[in-house]
């Protein structure tokens, strides 16, 4: 076991439950300081504080798993997984069989994402420490009664920073089908875990889609950045009069078409392949409701200033194309853009259009995307439902 001693005064965040220890807080390391493994963390007076996974190559030297002296093994992961599952089973609708089962730090399993799509799980292992326990985690997940097969789709910047490449494929047979049928609030979807974006579906917008269904009746709706048309489907299910579904990805729109037909909307409005920035600027008509759900425009903290320009452009042109009394559902999934800054950007857009708007609802991550109170920076998705006056 690795023993890691913090510099004087650097124990406060650990006491407070923050899950990360950065390299700058470390005074010394005893044991095999070059190896990835389980580490005990001590303050400068050699008091035991917490236990986690150590990676000498990462700026985040330790990701903490527990503040108790418990063994990190298959049983530990099984206990954490059981707690995460209970949250979802207790509070999610029984007409939903797709959700994020493990949301990293929010479920006290830093670096691990597990999405459930009906009988299949899709895992993302983001850290070298978790790679050591992959077999244990897969075994613990396989033991859940609904699990048929487990697929891996680990990729992205965090893995690069951990010194890992991408890794994808079957972790526990059988292989998932090309399209996994799932249900969300009784709506039917098809999820392409291999070729789709992220793990195949944007589970994090479930509550906002449900809100859209409640305000769509009799209205014209534009779903910008639609991916597989999930907002559009809820709008149609909620009785929208007309829906336009817009995305730049042809495969996403082809999937949207299949999904709309599967739910009894074979003529579910117009599917448009195009750039949402250009469409919003140039389109020659107005809507009662516009949804703006762009991909993250700021991947790093240093991108935030440039990204605010993109968000302002989108919101400004969306506000211009709303009918009097219309609704804008606008989102940012950039972790580095705070809700305060996002709201300021949207405010700036409204001022420039000369329109007046009020916030009628704040939107955000659903219950299966919990955010640790001790790690609030993990809250990435923020949304505002705005109503324009006239
Ligand atoms: N609203 C979706 C998720 C959106 S993800 C849902 O609820 O499932 C972001 C989407 O934006 C992706 O499908 C991506 O293909 C699309 N996209 C990215 N850049 C775009 C652009 N410039 N114009 C239109 N769509 C774009």
Ligand 1 center to 292 CA (angstroms): 9
Q: What is the pLDDT along the chain (390 residues), one digit of tens a residue?
A: 899 999 999 999 999 999 999 999 999 999 999 999 999 999 999 999 999 999 999 999 999 999 999 999 999 999 999 999 999 999 999 999 999 999 999 999 999 999 999 999 999 999 999 999 999 999 999 999 999 999 999 998 899 999 999 999 999 999 999 999 999 999 999 999 999 999 999 999 999 999 999 999 999 999 999 999 999 999 999 999 999 999 999 999 999 999 999 999 999 999 999 999 999 999 999 999 999 999 999 988 889 999 999 999 999 999 999 999 999 999 999 999 999 999 999 999 999 999 999 999 999 999 999 999 999 999 999 999 999 999
d(CA 165, CA 384): 36
Among protein residues, the one with the nearest Cα to ligand 1's atom 1 is 226
Which pLDDT score, from 0 to 100, does residue 299 have? 86
Q: In the chain, where does the domain assigned CATH 3.30.750.80 lie?
A: 74-181
Q: In the chain, where does the domain assigned CATH 3.40.50.150 lie?
A: 202-388
End-to-end C-alpha distance for the chain, whole angstroms:
65
Ligand 1 center to 248 CA (angstroms): 7
Which pLDDT score, from 0 to 100, does residue 300 have? 87
DSSP letter string, 317-359 = HHHHTEEEEEEEEEEE--TTS-HHHHHHHHHHHHHHHT--EEE
Ligand 1 center to 336 CA (angstroms): 19
Q: Domain 2-66 belongs to what topology?
A: 2.30.130
Told to judge if 333 belongs to the known catalytic residues of this protein, a careful annotator would answer yes
Q: Which atom of ligand 1 is nearest to the CA of 225?
A: 11
d(CA 265, CA 125): 37
Ligand 1 center to 226 CA (angstroms): 5
Mutate to test the pocket of ligand 1, among 208, 246, 247, 334 (most ligand atoms within 8 A of CB): 247
Q: Is 156 left (phi over 0), alpha (psi -120 to 50) or beta?
A: left
> Strands (DSSP E) along the chain, which ranges?
2-6, 20-22, 26-30, 37-42, 48-54, 60-66, 98-103, 112-117, 120-125, 149-154, 167-172, 180-184, 187-191, 220-224, 242-247, 270-273, 287-292, 322-332, 357-364, 382-388
Find out if CATH 3.30.950.10 is the number for domain 202-388.
no
Mutate to test the pocket of ligand 1, among 210, 245, 248 (most ligand atoms within 8 A of CB): 248
Mutate to test the pocket of ligand 1, among 213, 294, 314 (most ligand atoms within 8 A of CB): 294
- Structurally, at CATH architecture level, domain 74-181 sits in 2-Layer Sandwich (3.30)
Q: Is the previous residue joined to 174 through a cis bond, with omega within 30 degrees of 0? A: yes
d(CA 58, CA 36): 10
User: Which residues does 140 contact at the CB level (< 8 Å), separation at least 6?
Assistant: 74, 77, 78, 81
Q: Which atom of ligand 1 is nearest to the CA of 275?
A: 23
Q: In this structure, are strands 48-54 and 20-22 parallel, antiparallel, or unpaired?
A: unpaired
Q: In the chain, where does the domain assigned CATH 2.30.130.10 lie?
A: 2-66
Q: In the numeric block, which tokens belong to residue 192?
A: 């392409």
Which pLDDT score, from 0 to 100, does residue 211 have? 98
Angle at which helix 339-353 crosses helix 304-320, to 10 degrees, equals 40
**C-beta of residue 85 within 8 angstroms of C-beta of residue 100:** no
Q: Which of 44, 224, 283, 333 is catalytic?
A: 333
**Protein residues whose CB sits closer than 6 Å to any atom of ligand 1:** 197, 202, 205, 225-228, 230-231, 247-249, 252, 275-277, 293, 295
Which pLDDT score, from 0 to 100, does residue 1 have? 86
**C-beta of residue 21 within 8 angstroms of C-beta of residue 58:** no
Among protein residues, the one with the nearest Cα to ligand 1's atom 26 is 248
Ligand 1 center to 295 CA (angstroms): 6
Q: Cβ of 362: how many Cβ atoms within 10 Å?
A: 11
Among protein residues, the one with the nearest Cα to ligand 1's atom 22 is 275
- The size of the chain, in residues, is 390
Q: Dihedral, CA atoms, 241, 204, 225, 324, nearest 10 degrees?
A: 50
Place of tokens 């954490």: 80
What pTM value is reported for the model? 0.97
């Amino acid at each position: 076991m690795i023993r890691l001693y913090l510099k004087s005064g650097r124990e406060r965040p650990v006491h407070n439950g923050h899950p990360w220890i950065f390299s700058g807080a470390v005074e010394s390391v005893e044991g095999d300081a070059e190896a990835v493994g389980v580490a005990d963390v001590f303050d400068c007076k050699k008091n035991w504080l917490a236990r986690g996974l150590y990676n000498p190559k990462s700026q985040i030297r330790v990701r903490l798993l527990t503040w108790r002296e418990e063994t990190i093994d298959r049983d530990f992961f099984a206990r954490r997984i059981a707690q995460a599952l209970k949250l979802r089973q207790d509070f999610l609708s029984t007409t939903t069989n797709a959700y994020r089962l493990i949301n990293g730090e929010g479920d006290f399993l830093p670096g691990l994402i597990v999405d459930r799509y009906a009988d299949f799980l899709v895992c993302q292992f983001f850290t070298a420490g978790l790679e050591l326990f992959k077999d244990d985690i897969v075994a613990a997940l396989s033991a859940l009664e609904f699990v048929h097969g487990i697929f891996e789709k680990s990729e992205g910047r965090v893995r690069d920073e951990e010194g890992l490449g991408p890794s994808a494929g079957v972790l526990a047979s059988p292989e998932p089908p090309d399209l996994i049928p799932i249900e969300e609030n009784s709506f039917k979807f098809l999820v392409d875990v291999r070729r789709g974006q992220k793990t195949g579906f944007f589970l994090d917008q479930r509550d906002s889609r449900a809100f859209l269904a409640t305000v769509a009746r009799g209205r014209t709706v534009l779903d910008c950045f639609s991916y597989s048309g999930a907002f559009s489907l809820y709008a149609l299910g909620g009785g929208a009069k007309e829906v336009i579904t817009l995305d730049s990805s042809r495969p996403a729109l082809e999937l949207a078409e299949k999904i709309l037909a599967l739910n009894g909307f074979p003529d579910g409005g117009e599917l448009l392949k195009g750039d949402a920035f250009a469409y919003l600027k140039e389109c020659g008509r107005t809507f009662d409701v516009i949804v703006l759900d762009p991909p993250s425009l700021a991947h790093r903290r240093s991108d935030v200033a440039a990204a605010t320009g993109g968000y302002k452009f989108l919101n400004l042109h969306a506000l211009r194309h709303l009918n009097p009394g219309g609704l804008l559902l606008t989102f940012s999934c950039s972790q580095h853009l705070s809700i305060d800054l996002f709201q300021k950007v949207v405010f700036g857009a409204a001022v420039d259009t000369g329109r007046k708007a009020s916030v009628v609802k704040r939107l955000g991550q659903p219950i299966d995307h919990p955010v640790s109170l001790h790690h609030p920076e993990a809250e990435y998705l923020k949304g505002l439902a705005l109503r324009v006056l006239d």
